Structure 1
Amino acid sequence: MSRRRLPGEVRRGLRDVAPIMLGVAPFALVAGAAAVDAGLTPMQAVGLSVVVFAGASQLAAIDLFGSDAALAVIVLTGVVINLRMAMYSASIAPHFRPLRARWKAISSYILTDQAYALSIARYANEELDATERRRYYLTVGGSLWVVWQCCTALGIVVGARVPDSWGLEFAVPLVFLSLLVPAVSSRPKLVAALVGGGVAIAGDVFAVPLDLGLIAGGIAGVAAGVATDAWLADGSAGSAGEDEGSH
């Protein structure tokens, strides 16, 4: 089928997702290479990528696999990291209500940060019918899935041939740092990053049982971020009250 004969929302989805795929590709390459470096077989690494299909939780699981963490801890860590998907689902679900069950199941599987963000923005800007919404979302989410799986497989092949002396175990922490730095855009986020990272590192240094330091760091970071946000909001409200009183 020629590009001109593709449905309009398919063409729009491909156009919108193309720049994002350029950033997803190296992320997936690292995930594949790191999985092999952590001791997974190529088939296990591919299976993990297909079943999980979630960048941050996939890398966290690989890191925990490499440190021989308990399976329950690995699964719990992945669930905690992906809790935001529940909020995404609740937000986008009304747009998919007319769809059949099989389309809803496929849509839930390929839900990612990027697919959600692009689709919600598209639905807000124009009135689309159920078929158009489905075509756009599946094009965006499906394209990301294909790129992720192909690049992960390439990373697995490359990672299996990388000598141990190259120190590939540093790839996962570096990727997380690359994701963290742009996200620290406010004081609450900075506090959350420092507290969460500090607790996670302390858990590793002091050998917290079952490798629960990562989960403890995540919980502590969220709590610290929320507390800082509330403290700043209270301070702003207090300052506003004083200014009104002075008038």
Structure 2
Amino acid sequence: MSADAGPSLAEALAPRIAWLVNRRAAVFAGMRAVAPMVAAVMPFGVTAGVAGLDAGLGLDLTMALSVIVFAGASQLAALQLIDAGAASTLVVATALLINLRMVMYSAHLAPYFRHLPVRWRAPMAYLLTDQAYALTVTRVMSDEPLPANHWFYLGAALPLWVFWQLSTGFGYWAGTALPPSWELGFIVPLIFLALLVPAVNSRPSLIAAVVGGGGAVLGQGLPAGLGLTLGALAGIAAGVIAEGVLRRD
């Protein structure tokens, strides 16, 4: 063979093979990282299904809401407002307010994925969750960044989406299979209490919880579910004010 002969087939394919290996390794790394978290989010998906049934949405609308919104606390809050007869604009505004943290997550991750085309960035934005963000940002900000981070993100985010939809559907089905006399609507407030208790870890958060909960109870008779929303806004304001006052002290 002459010295100026071109590269062999193996040499030509080596970069492609390395890319495929890195992609596969990144996807499975993401799936392994998120696996312990999947079991933790499934009860919330089941609760979302039960809440959709309790709100009278029907299976189609419950699953459509789950697919479109795909956000635990935001989805449950929206269902609670729908069940309370709130205006649609209020439901949408509340869901967006609860999900504002996703804007910060996106801004933090954007520099690491700005090189990707829109066909990648659009589904990544849709699949963004607390868990996917936490796992991915740890990987991309490591001292020795690993390759194929967007494939890692996919491996971490997609299983959460799949199991969320399955658990939501199961929750709706389980609710229809049980006797109506069981009144499963109480599960949703219990889930919110389970989220609330660990978050009350300081005096400002305690003040916010008391003011928000008290405001929601006092405003229970207001039309269009305004009591729940006004209570939440009052709790947020009280927490911010309390934190500022206590910080000065």
Band the TM-score falls in, shorter-chain normalisation: 0.7 to 0.9
Q: Which residue of 2 aligns with 1:51?
A: 68
Q: Which structure would you say has the larger Rg?
A: 2
Inter-partner Cα distance in structure 1 for 2:34 and 2:98 = 23
Corresponding residue for residue 96 of structure 2: 79
Cα drift, residue 127 of structure 1: 3.6
SS at match of 1:69: coil
Amino acid at match of 1:77: T
TM-score by length of 2: 0.86
Which range moved further: 207-216 or 189-198? 207-216
1:164 matched to 2:180 = yes
Q: 1:44-123 counterparts in 2 under 5 A?
A: 44-123=61-140
Q: Paired residues, what number?
A: 229
Residue 6 of structure 1, CA deviation: 6.9
Deviation, 1:7, is: 2.0
Q: TM-score when scaled to structure 1?
A: 0.87
Cα distance, 1:81–1:5 mapped onto 2, change above 3 Å: closer
Alpha-carbon displacement from aligned partner over 1:45-97 (angstroms, at most 9, x marks no partner): 11110011011111111112222222112111111111111121112211111
2:149 maps to 133
- Check whether the contact 2:87–2:224 (CA below 8 A) recurs between aligned residues: yes
- Correspondence 1:198 to 2:220: no
CA contact (8 A) 1:54 1:112 kept: yes
CA distance in 2, matches of 1:127, 1:51: 36
Distance 1:47 1:168 in 2: 21
CA–CA distance in structure 1, aligned partners of residues 30 and 95 of structure 2: 28
Residue 10 (str. 1) matches residue 27 (str. 2): yes
Shift in Å, 1:125:
2.1
Alpha-carbon RMSD across the aligned residues, in angstroms, is 1.7
Q: Which runs of 5+ in 1 are unaligned?
A: 236-247
- From 161, 165, 169, give the equivalent of 1:153: 169
Residues 1:22 and 2:39 are matched in the alignment: yes
d(CA) in 2 for partners of 1:201 and 1:232?
A: 26
CA contact (8 A) 1:34 1:159 kept: no
Alignment equivalent of 1:184, drawn from 200, 205, 209: 200
Separation (CA, whole Å) in 1 of partners of 2:23 and 2:108:
28
Determine helix, strand or coil for the equivalent of 1:7: helix
1: CA distance between counterparts of 2:104 and 2:137?
13
CA-CA distance at 1:144 after TM superposition: 0.6
Whether the 8 Å contact between 2:84 and 2:224 is mirrored in structure 1 is no
